[in-house]
Amino acid sequence: MVAGHSIYTTSSCGDADKEDSWFLEPYQKHPGQAATFLAHIQEGVENVAKDKQALLLFSGGETRKNAGPRSEAQSYWAVAESKSNEDSVKWRTLTEEHARDSFENLLFSVCRFKELTGTYPQNITVVSYDFKEERFAQLHRSSIRFPESNFFYSGTPASPAAKEAAAKGEALVRYQFLEDPYGCRGSLWRKKLGRDPFHRSIPYPNGCPEIDGLFRYCGQTLYPESDYRLYTCPLYPVPFITEQSTQNSQPQWPRQPRQH
């Protein structure tokens, strides 16, 4: 999963490495910022190219009012299509177009994966900035109870001009998610509402009913393990944890996607 950070503004992808080709928030307006988005896209494509059983999801909703009803995920997909020669990856590259923050990037992508393939992911690799690794690999991963041994993180650096400010901002966001793991109250919730200018209805947990509780839960502690309907690895069905399934698992990419 590649987490989106902005929306591409032009109909041609020839200048995607320029900052004025993206709708940037004030804190993102640094030289070299656009290049970091391209690095995430490239990292995602290269990772999936190495694993023929992997699916690449670009995740991110319609978060910028001035950009119109265009999603971060579709922006990244379009840039990837224009710049990548990896034909073997293209048919395994899809989008998750509703996430409004990093927690939703992860949770919604798990549900989207289930919606597309009929199974939950056995492994997850997240691509984002290197300074967000603790947020994704520890806080968000723990919040959805995904096993640490099956979770991987591929981080790329912020632009040199943004590094100091990014580190300070990340420290604050990590603290907020420590206090509010599911981003469902206070400043995290207000930020999420601000990133939904077109008032999109979230389709999930349609497509992943086994984990519907995670979409309703709002607590300062992790979602109670006893509330999961499944087994030893509660978020994931029995085939995920059985020895037979690890030997015979052959994901089918993808099932018929829904038309949007």
Average pLDDT over residues 33-44: 96
Q: Which tokens in the block code for residue 162?
A: 């943004």
To the question of pTM greater than 0.85 for the whole model, the response is yes
Alpha-carbon distances, residue 69 vs 142, 164, 248, 254 (angstroms):
32, 32, 42, 26
7 SS3 class:
strand
Instruction: Select from 109, 106, 101, 107 the least CA-distant residue to 187.
Output: 101
pLDDT at 244: 34
Q: How far apart are CA 122 and CA 152, in angstroms?
A: 11
* pLDDT per residue as tens digits for the range 129-179: 999 999 999 999 999 989 899 999 999 999 999 999 999 999 999 999 999
Tell me the CB-side half-sphere exposure of residue 206, using CA atoms within 13 A. Answer: 4
The torsion of the CA quartet 5, 162, 164, 156, rounded to 10 degrees, works out to 60
pLDDT at 13: 57
Confidence of residue 104 (pLDDT cuts 50, 70, 90): very high
pLDDT at 45 over 60: yes
Are 7 and 71 in contact by the 8 Å Cβ rule? The answer is yes
pLDDT at 224: 79
Are 117 and 252 in contact by the 8 Å Cβ rule? The answer is yes
Q: How far apart are CA 14 and CA 18, in angstroms?
A: 9
Q: What mean pLDDT value characterizes the chain?
A: 86
* pLDDT per residue as tens digits for the range 191-225: 999 999 999 999 999 999 988 889 999 999 988 76
Average pLDDT over residues 116-124: 93
Confidence of residue 84 (pLDDT cuts 50, 70, 90): confident
* pLDDT per residue as tens digits for the range 179-192: 999 999 999 999 99
pLDDT at 226: 62
Alpha-carbon distances, residue 145 vs 99, 119, 159, 223 (angstroms):
19, 17, 32, 8
Q: How far apart are CA 73 and CA 56, in angstroms?
A: 11
Query: Strand (E) positions, the chain?
Result: 2-3, 7-8, 22-23, 56-59, 93-96, 124-129, 151-156
Picking from 70-74, 171-175, 230-234, which range would have the lowest pLDDT averaged per residue?
230-234
Beta bridge partners of 2: 58, 127
Please, what are the domains in the chain? 2-248 (3.40.50.620)
pLDDT at 241 over 70: no
Average pLDDT over residues 11-21: 78
pLDDT at 247 over 90: no
